[in-house]
Amino acid sequence: MGMLSFRAMAADTLLIVGDSLSAVYRLPANTSWPTLLNTQWKKRGGMPDIVNASISGDTSAQGLARLPGLLLQHHPRWVLVELGANDGLRGFAPPTISQTLSQIIDQVKQAKAQPFLMQIRLPPNYGKRYGDAFYAIYPTLAKQADIPLVPFFMEQVAIKPEWMQDDGLHPNQAAQDFIADWMSGKLAPLVTHH
């Protein structure tokens, strides 16, 4: 019993370090999929608190720069890394992106937290060769670091025009509930087997 009450006091935290796809671009923050997922998990009980430290427009290097402070502040048990899309949209070299993401993963591990890496795919208009090289960064890194690769929710969302903002890059309000449910299905198994 003592152990249980202690755990209830110090709820485990899942930290999300991402960009506009998790910070929700041009939408109220309280309607974002991480907020909805946190509410869903609170009702369920026994699930970690979700801290969404995502910032629209962040590159992986900006995420890396913010990471030490976030790890110190939140002491997460798990960290979902949802970064790289902005690097890709700016055409950064895949080896550079890979190196930065690798540093993020290492720092998370050094902080005794478990990293999860989210797969990112660029819109097709960025060219097949670059798009494929970019996409390949993620499974390669996840394998090297021996960490879970979380599928990209945008692949489920972008195919439905009614779920997309008019920029064609960001999910709209209507998509957030779906993303929260879908991400719950992917993340819950990763955070519940202790």
CATH code, 68: 3.40.50.1110
- On whether residue 42 sits in a domain, the answer given is yes
| In-domain check, residue 49 | yes
In a domain, 35, yes or no: yes
Catalytic residue among 5, 166, 167, 193: 167
For residue 63, the model assigns a pLDDT of 98
The domain total for the chain is 1
Answer yes or no: is 169 within a domain. yes
Catalytic residue among 20, 22, 32, 54: 20
What is the rounded CA–CA span in Å between residue 57 and residue 18?
A: 9
The one catalytic residue in 54, 60, 102, 170 is 170
pLDDT greater than 70 at residue 4: no
Q: In whole angstroms, what is the distance from residue 148 CA to residue 130 CA?
A: 24
99 belongs to a structural domain: yes
The parent domain of residue 168 ranges over: 8-186
56 is catalytic: no
Opening angle at CA 15, ends 9 and 20, nearest 5: 145
Sign, CA dihedral 174-16-57-85, equals negative
For the segment 28-38, the average pLDDT, to the nearest whole number, is 92
pLDDT, average across residues 57-79: 97
**Residue 192, domain member (yes or no):** no
The answer to whether the predicted template modeling score (pTM) of the entire model surpasses 0.85 is yes
Q: Quote the pLDDT of residue 193.
A: 64
Q: Is 167 a catalytic residue?
A: yes
Phi, psi at residue 79, to the nearest 5°?
-135, 120
pLDDT of 8 higher than 90: no
Closest Cα partner for 52 from 193, 192, 179, 185?
179
In a domain, 2, yes or no: no
